[in-house]
Amino acid sequence: MRIDLTNIRFQGPESDDKTRKAGSRAPSTPNVEDKASLSTDALSISSLEAQAMATPPVRQDKVEALRQSIQNGDYRVEADKIAHAILEHNQR
């Protein structure tokens, strides 16, 4: 695709004049101070978020203990316990 630039006009100075004229007015700002306050619910949510972010996503000690148990052949799956937990979860 070829672009023909022969009839293109530069509009720089014209737009610069408009910018200067618009920028010459001083904006009027009232002397009002904005304030915001958080509800107790928002504060508690913020606190819980901070605690969650500080907690590591993986409990490395538990992972390592399970890894060792599997490697040693000591890990046993309790199918009844797992099935019971699944049923309880689905009943909620």
Tens of pLDDT along the chain (92 residues)? 677 767 766 665 565 555 556 555 656 666 788 888 778 888 889 899 998 888 878 888 999 999 999 999 999 999 999 999 999 999 98
Contact criterion met (CB below 8 Å) for 46 and 38: yes
Distances (CA, A) of 2 to 7, 40, 43: 14, 64, 60
pLDDT at 56: 78
pLDDT at 15: 55
Helix/strand number for the chain, H first, E second: 4, 0
What lies within 8 Å, CB to CB, of 46 at 6+ separation is 38
Listed by start position, the domains of the chain span 47-92
Structure tokens at 6: 């022969």
Collapsing DSSP to helix, strand or coil, 23 comes out as helix
Q: Which amino acid is at 91?
A: Q
